[in-house]
Amino acid sequence: MKIFEINKYLLVAILLFLITSTLIFALPAYSTTPGSARTVYLIEVEDVITAGQKNFIERQIDNAIDMESQLLVVRINTPGGLVEATMKINELILNAPLPVAVLVAPSGAIAGSAGTFILMASDIAAMAPGTTIGAAQPVAISAEGASDAGEKTVTFYASYMRNTAEGQGRPGDIAERFVTENLSLGSGESLEKGMIDYIAGNVPELMNEIDGKEIKKLGTIHKLNTADAPIEQGEMTLAERFQNWLSNPQTAFLVLMVGFLGIYLGLSAPGTIVPEVGGLILLIMGVYGIGLFDVNTTGIILLLVGLGLIMAEIFTSGFGVLGIGGAISLAVGAIMLPVEPLMATDWYPSFIVTVAGVVLGLVIIMVVVIQRVIQSRRRWTGGSEHFTPPQKGVTVNELNPEGRIKARGEYWSARSIDGSTIPAGREVEVVKAETLILWVQLPKNEKNNKTSTE
């Protein structure tokens, strides 16, 4: 038992060394590489507008600025999305120091609801033939299902849509009808009414159309030379893909419900551990998905939960459930945590390598701990049907005739075999063991001495 306790502290020291050294070696792994000044930076936004999409667009705007791109093009195809994420994206587009073009493409694509809000915020709005925008009336989601939002909400977002469109030189009255009347427009009608600036089937066609155009933004005039400009396309990182998936309302609801179910099952059957650990992790992820936590807060909580589970695994000598849950929580928390626009583009891959190294190290430590526990328990049951009792011990308190002794670093219940009193601090021999009680006596030489004296 003492040997195993020492190894626990050794494992903690190894864990701290592993995390520290891995992070130190990972730090120099990033750098910046500016691109051509004539670069057009392209990103694609598909499906539901979520917090993950917002984080992706925010990082890509920073990348486009770092590369000194002359234009950011957002090719969009979405049925709508979350209000908060949409308004944050509009804020990013309107305050970006470079022109932002939004193209609804390919043919057959839509920019419904949230997509229309984003299109109206763009400096250059374009649609491919056969695409549709509009139907932006907000809806309220409750236990009874989806229903039209209240008049106050509709009035607010209609005003927001109108102001956004007018700020970009588009007819505010028509933009307002997207919200109040669920107005929908095709590409030709949108161009005719002045809601978009161009019809273009794809990004190269749009670049040819806007070549030579001057855009005034935030007090600066940008002259576009896009006809032969190279295109640099940004892709989602693993973290952004995961955040995008998790912040989808349907996914978030399912994850949240499974988390609640896991905790309920764990409380209904105490000691199973697996439902409680899994339910806790899923519950935190679900709370992020529905928008109650931001991504950094969720990442920090998951990291703390992961470390807590790892420590509990090491110090309770479990069977790996807490440790595996902790490793999963650490990995998910680390993936969600870094939302840092000042980091270089190639910093994130090195961070993922760091996370993988730390999690791998933790898994190795858990395997060692579990292995030692299994070996210890095998030794415990190897001597007889239940356990192998010690042969000698020292009385902790007076046996009169019952008390406690200490043997092999453990405390045992004991009883003198002849019913006599044995003082505390005396060495005793174990005669037999019944259940968890040891029957003991004084060593034979002490008994003989005592008899001779008498």
Average pLDDT, the chain: 77
Q: Is residue 360 situated within a structural domain?
A: yes
Residue at a domain's end among 219, 236, 253: 236
**Domains held by the chain: number:** 3
Same domain for 128 and 209, yes or no, is yes
| CATH number of the domain within which 196 lies | 3.90.226.10
Contact status, residue 337 vs residue 13, Cβ threshold 8 Å: no
| pLDDT value at residue 143 | 43
Position 344 pLDDT exceeds 60: no
Q: Is residue 385 situated within a structural domain?
A: no
Over its C-alpha atoms, the chain yields an Rg (Å, rounded) of 34
The per-residue pLDDT for range 361-389, each reduced to its tens digit, is 666 666 666 666 556 555 544 444 446 78
Q: Is residue 387 situated within a structural domain?
A: no
| pLDDT value at residue 170 | 96
Please indicate, yes or no, whether the overall pTM of this predicted structure exceeds 0.85: no
Compare 196 and 314 and report the one with higher pLDDT: 196
Residue at a domain's end among 380, 415, 436: 380
Same domain for 142 and 256, yes or no, is no
Pairwise CA distance, residues 413 & 250, whole Å: 58
The per-residue pLDDT for range 19-49, each reduced to its tens digit, is 555 444 444 333 334 444 479 999 999 988 8
Nearest CA to 341 among 26, 41, 37, 92?
Answer: 92
- Between strands 71-77 and 40-46, the pairing is parallel
Same domain for 299 and 411, yes or no, is no
The per-residue pLDDT for range 108-165, each reduced to its tens digit, is 999 998 999 999 999 999 999 999 999 888 876 544 445 567 788 889 999 999 999 9
Pairwise CA distance, residues 284 & 299, whole Å: 9
Q: Percent of the chain having pLDDT more than 70? A: 66
Contact status, residue 227 vs residue 215, Cβ threshold 8 Å: no
Average pLDDT, integer, range 41-66: 90
